[in-house]
Chains A and B, each alone.
Chain A
Amino acid sequence: MLTTVEKIIFILAALTSVGFTYHGFKTIVDSIRKGRPAPELKDIPGSLVKAGVAVLFQQTIFKARKVLSAIHMGLFFGLITYAFVNLTDALEGLIPGFDLVYGGKNIPFKFLPAGVINTFNLIADVMSGILLFAIIVMFVRRFITKDKALTFRDNILLNPKVLAGAQARDSLIVDVFVVMHVGARLLSQAYRLNEGPDPFMPIASFLNSMVGSSEVGVHVAWWVSLGWVMFIIPYLSRSKHTHFFMSPINLGLAKQNPRGQLDPAVPLKVIEGTRFDPGAKHVHDLAWTRVLDAYACVQCNRCQDVCPANFYQRPLSPSALEVNKRYLLKEATFGSHPEKLLLPLTETVISPEAVWSCTTCYACVRVCPVGNEPMADIVDIRRRMLIDGYEIDSGVQNALQSLATNGNWMSKGKRLRGKWAKEMEFPVKDATAEPVDHLWFVGDTASFDERVIPNTKMVARIFNQAGLDFGIMYKEESNAGNDVRRVGEEGLFEQLVEQNMAAFGKSQFQRIVTTDPHSFNTLKNEYPQFGGQWEVKHYTVTLLRLFEEGKLTVKNKLSNYKVTFHDPCYLGRYNGGFTAPRKLLELLGVEFHEMPRNCENSFCCGAGGGQIWMGKVAPGERPAENRIKEALTTFESNASDKKQLFIVTCPKDMIMYSDAVKTTGNEGRIEVRDIIQLIAEAVGVEEPAVAEAVAA
């Protein structure tokens, strides 16, 4: 089809395009390689294939925004189709007489059967229409209806380029490209139809009915279509649309170890001669897999939607973190500002206040369709800030200091940890002194907080009633260190692990049970790295087993209660502990209603990652308050006279939500209870009568 001159121009243009594309991707790969060693990835080919399958079926995007995800699916399949379409278009240009219309009947040599070509033509034609439709929806969403989900709040640190609208410009370029490219391609086919409509090319045939056929038209449309491609491919390597290529790779190289196991503060694989400071100050202090994150992110902001800190009007947006990383890297590697790589991340990527707003709830990582881990970056930044002597919140500092001296964050003496147990009406075994079957790791809040201790005692009574052989470690137990590690105090975390390992070493036990999801997470997922290989269970699992084995029986069905259940982040999203609490509630006979945000999509109470230690409380509706409202709305749509309960299985939740019920003025409408309180009522275990000694 093309003239010789056209062919020469095309080949030169294609070579130039390939050159720029190569340079683009080489720059990206070099930049990724400058990141620190990441935890070892096993069977990379296998996980890349798995990721490829996930991408092919678009599995990971449907976790949120179902309709838009379907539109994305149209874009995805459209662009995949167009990879083949561009190839055949190039052949049509270069090979004389090579023409796919009408089933390829005019091709002068033996090619594929007409049926195959017609199928291809039909797919290409229909996908062109879908692609155009999808891109127009995306365009309207960004530029006409201006979906707020694509914007960032004013208090969030943004790269100046982003502030100046670089994201929208990138989107516009790609939108225009797709419209022009697909439109031109359809036209080029329409102009070819000089023998009337082709039933396998409905859209092209329709266009043909309007514009007719034209040899000149074929040439012009062909050049517009293919010319755009030769421009856009190298451009993609310099824009957020590296997403097209990097997201499947990133998904294949995503975190493999358990969700609840943080990357170490200093890379395990230390390259010879390189001394790594803990945590991250500069972008290339991040593990290479997390430098790659920035190139995979297409800035959809799904993570921002689910972020409790973002909801709370804090200056944190996980997607802004990735976006800023992306533009920083671009300015430094493609632009003329390599020195920007040496600016602290806290000035270029995320504000210090945002760093300290993260609750480490994992919602952002869980929802990310491309396997990014903004939360891990935040923890790494905290780690370095602590080492560099950055002034931290006074409440956090007090907690850390108390943890270092007392082994708990509440400035209580070690000996007071088992005080509640000594007040019990039966002896609670000391696991460090005599063998027990279940070692109960109680945790700080359940051991010391007066608001939670009644529940702690009730757990002991139920265990006792069920004949469970259990004991606690009294003063030998230290905070497990889950939140300490997530605050970034790796050294203190290690110290606490050592203290607990020493205590475990003194004790004889078969398994660990814990009432605290945070302790549960680190004991289960992180202690094994320090030699602590035990079976660790959350008390809901232990209690369910006791019911199933008949050691506990429901005497009173609690059908007078209407309840909902809050999945604690560190039990649910981190460790998949969704079923035991729900099965328990079913056994108890309560009327159960699920909140819209449940299980994997549960909404953080706002206490994790050290937030509960913060001295300063920010204004605005807190995540816990929002959650209580969610529960009440759920109850409203199932109205009845029953008593409404908000059930928790985490001591921190007990505190956070009891407060939230008060601050939202909902006392009397909803009550927060630990699941153990319901179990006690159903099983018929009561608190012993309070001694009258206090009264006059």
Chain B
Amino acid sequence: MNIVVAIKHIPSIADDLPVSGNNVDFDSVDFVLNEFDEQSIEQAVLVKEAVGGTVTVVGVDLIEELDNILHLAIAKGADKAVKVTADEPGADSHMQAKWLSEAIKGLSPDIVFAGVQASNDLDGQIGPMIAAHLDMPYIGGVSSVEVADGTATVNKEFAGGVGAKYSVSLPMVVGVQAAAKPPRYAPISKVRQVAQTATIDTVEPSGDASSGLTFKKMAPPVATGHAEMIDGSPKEVAAKIVELLKSKGLA
């Protein structure tokens, strides 16, 4: 079985996000793997471990630092890695989805995994767009996948704690919310070993599918309002709160 995982390299929000002009300052931000993609890699490896096959991880190399991520994926159990050499840190979801789809087509996938969303655009579109480009069905918000006889049994989570189980004929695209198990840890010695031995296939970006949207302005939110700490004994504090509520016309 050919299992493909489409991943996304995104600016880290562990730091305060630096802004330059009307976009993120890509030169001074670290890039990390989208956290939902960690789940989707794990789910893909779990499926491979259950039914056999090959896991190929595909990502767009935006800043020429994707190799580390691909090595990590291989250390976690992926078999092959492919990078689309775009060198375009600001590439949006539409462009990435198009490039990824072109790269994935040649792999004749039985199932494609993608993280359900990413923190950099939050539109949750990569998975559905890949499905559209590849002409496959898509289910997002998925929390576990089992495959048997050309059919995937997929658990999807809805809001309010409601779950649903789908049976889908392969091939399909899955938007992973969470893997059936927490993502495994890849020891660094293994990642480093992979880095020395593994080969990463490279593909030129092909096809243009820009969203057509342009950034007009990007800025950190302006802090508004403030918190006032009320000191004193519980009685005094209570009295002050009552007074405050009255003054605001709330009591």
Q: Mark B169-204, 1 if CB is under 8 A from A, else 0.
A: 000000000000010110111111000000000000
Q: Indicate if A67 sits at the interface (CB-CB under 8 A).
A: no
- Specify which chain A residues have a CB less than 8 angstroms from the CB of B192 in the assembled complex: 491, 495
- Specify which chain A residues have a CB less than 8 angstroms from the CB of B228 in the assembled complex: 695-696
- Specify which chain A residues have a CB less than 8 angstroms from the CB of B16 in the assembled complex: 413, 415-416
Whether the pair B184, A391 counts as a contact (CB closer than 8 A) is yes
Whether the pair B14, A494 counts as a contact (CB closer than 8 A) is no
**CA distance in complex: A494, B187 (Å):** 12
Whether the pair A278, B189 counts as a contact (CB closer than 8 A) is yes
- Specify which chain B residues have a CB less than 8 angstroms from the CB of A400 in the assembled complex: 185
Q: Indicate if B12 sits at the interface (CB-CB under 8 A).
A: yes
Whether the pair B184, A404 counts as a contact (CB closer than 8 A) is no
Q: Indicate if A492 sits at the interface (CB-CB under 8 A).
A: yes
Q: For the complex formed, measure the closest distance between the CB of A22 and the CB atoms of chain B, giving whole angstroms.
A: 43
Whether the pair B15, A414 counts as a contact (CB closer than 8 A) is yes
- Specify which chain B residues have a CB less than 8 angstroms from the CB of A495 in the assembled complex: 188, 192
Given contacts A387-B189, A404-B188, 12 further A-B contacts (CB under 8 A): A389-B184, A391-B182, A400-B185, A406-B30, A413-B12, A413-B15, A413-B16, A413-B30, A415-B16, A491-B189, A491-B190, A695-B228
Q: Indicate if B235 sits at the interface (CB-CB under 8 A).
A: no
Q: For the complex formed, measure the closest distance between the CB of A380 and the CB atoms of chain B, giving whole angstroms.
A: 14
**CA distance in complex: A411, B12 (Å):** 10
Residue of A nearest to B12 (CB): A413
Which of B185, B187, B226 meets A694, CB within 8 Å?
A: B226
Q: Indicate if A464 sits at the interface (CB-CB under 8 A).
A: no
Q: For the complex formed, measure the closest distance between the CB of A449 and the CB atoms of chain B, giving whole angstroms.
A: 15
Q: Which residues does B use to contact A, with CB under 8 Å?
A: 12, 14-16, 30, 32, 182, 184-185, 187-192, 226, 228
**CA distance in complex: A401, B187 (Å):** 9
The 26 listed contacts between A and B (C-beta, < 8 Å) are A278-B189, A387-B189, A389-B184, A397-B185, A404-B188, A405-B12, A405-B30, A411-B14, A413-B12, A413-B14, A413-B15, A413-B16, A413-B30, A414-B15, A414-B30, A415-B15, A416-B16, A489-B187, A489-B188, A491-B190, A492-B187, A492-B188, A495-B188, A495-B192, A694-B226, A696-B226
Whether the pair B185, A392 counts as a contact (CB closer than 8 A) is yes
- Specify which chain B residues have a CB less than 8 angstroms from the CB of A405 in the assembled complex: 12, 14, 30, 32
Q: For the complex formed, measure the closest distance between the CB of A410 and the CB atoms of chain B, giving whole angstroms.
A: 9
Whether the pair B189, A490 counts as a contact (CB closer than 8 A) is yes
**CA distance in complex: A412, B15 (Å):** 6
- Specify which chain A residues have a CB less than 8 angstroms from the CB of B15 in the assembled complex: 412-416
Q: Indicate if A510 sits at the interface (CB-CB under 8 A).
A: no
Q: Indicate if A394 sits at the interface (CB-CB under 8 A).
A: yes
Query: Which secondary structure dominates where chain B touches chain A?
Result: loop
Q: For the complex formed, measure the closest distance between the CB of B75 and the CB atoms of chain A, giving whole angstroms.
A: 10
Residue of A nearest to B189 (CB): A491
- Specify which chain B residues have a CB less than 8 angstroms from the CB of A416 in the assembled complex: 14-16
Residue among B14, B182, B185, B191 with max Cβ neighbours from chain A (10 Å): B185
- Specify which chain B residues have a CB less than 8 angstroms from the CB of A94 in the assembled complex: none
Residue of A nearest to B28 (CB): A415
Residue of A nearest to B38 (CB): A401
Q: For the complex formed, measure the closest distance between the CB of A23 and the CB atoms of chain B, giving whole angstroms.
A: 42
- Specify which chain A residues have a CB less than 8 angstroms from the CB of B187 in the assembled complex: 386-387, 489, 491-492
Q: Mark A671-696, 1 if CB is under 8 A from B, else 0.
A: 00000000000000000000000111
- A394-B182, A414-B30, A696-B226 given as contacts; is B14 within 8 A of A491 (CB)? no
Q: Mark A136-173, 1 if CB is under 8 A from B, else 0.
A: 00000000000000000000000000000000000000
Residue among B14, B192, B228 with max Cβ neighbours from chain A (10 Å): B14
**CA distance in complex: A394, B184 (Å):** 10
**CA distance in complex: A412, B16 (Å):** 9
Residue of A nearest to B18 (CB): A415
- Specify which chain A residues have a CB less than 8 angstroms from the CB of B188 in the assembled complex: 404, 489, 491-492, 494-495
Residue among A415, A416, A694 with max Cβ neighbours from chain B (10 Å): A415
Q: For the complex formed, measure the closest distance between the CB of B65 and the CB atoms of chain A, giving whole angstroms.
A: 12
**CA distance in complex: A411, B192 (Å):** 22
- Specify which chain B residues have a CB less than 8 angstroms from the CB of A397 in the assembled complex: 182, 185
Q: For the complex formed, measure the closest distance between the CB of A265 and the CB atoms of chain B, giving whole angstroms.
A: 8
- Specify which chain B residues have a CB less than 8 angstroms from the CB of A695 in the assembled complex: 226, 228
Q: Mark A413-442, 1 if CB is under 8 A from B, else 0.
A: 111100000000000000000000000000
**CA distance in complex: A90, B191 (Å):** 66
Q: For the complex formed, measure the closest distance between the CB of B28 and the CB atoms of chain A, giving whole angstroms.
A: 8
Q: For the complex formed, measure the closest distance between the CB of A417 and the CB atoms of chain B, giving whole angstroms.
A: 10
Residue of A nearest to B77 (CB): A389
- Specify which chain B residues have a CB less than 8 angstroms from the CB of A490 in the assembled complex: 189
**CA distance in complex: A480, B230 (Å):** 42
Which of A375-417 touch B at CB < 8 Å?
A: 386-387, 389, 391-392, 394, 397, 400-401, 404-406, 411-416
**CA distance in complex: A601, B202 (Å):** 59
- Specify which chain A residues have a CB less than 8 angstroms from the CB of B14 in the assembled complex: 405-406, 411-413, 416
- Specify which chain B residues have a CB less than 8 angstroms from the CB of A694 in the assembled complex: 226
**CA distance in complex: A492, B182 (Å):** 20
Residue of A nearest to B185 (CB): A397
Q: For the complex formed, measure the closest distance between the CB of B32 and the CB atoms of chain A, giving whole angstroms.
A: 6
- Specify which chain A residues have a CB less than 8 angstroms from the CB of B182 in the assembled complex: 391, 394, 397
- Specify which chain A residues have a CB less than 8 angstroms from the CB of B185 in the assembled complex: 386, 389, 392, 397, 400-401
- Specify which chain A residues have a CB less than 8 angstroms from the CB of B190 in the assembled complex: 387, 491
**CA distance in complex: A116, B228 (Å):** 91
Q: For the complex formed, measure the closest distance between the CB of A343 and the CB atoms of chain B, giving whole angstroms.
A: 23
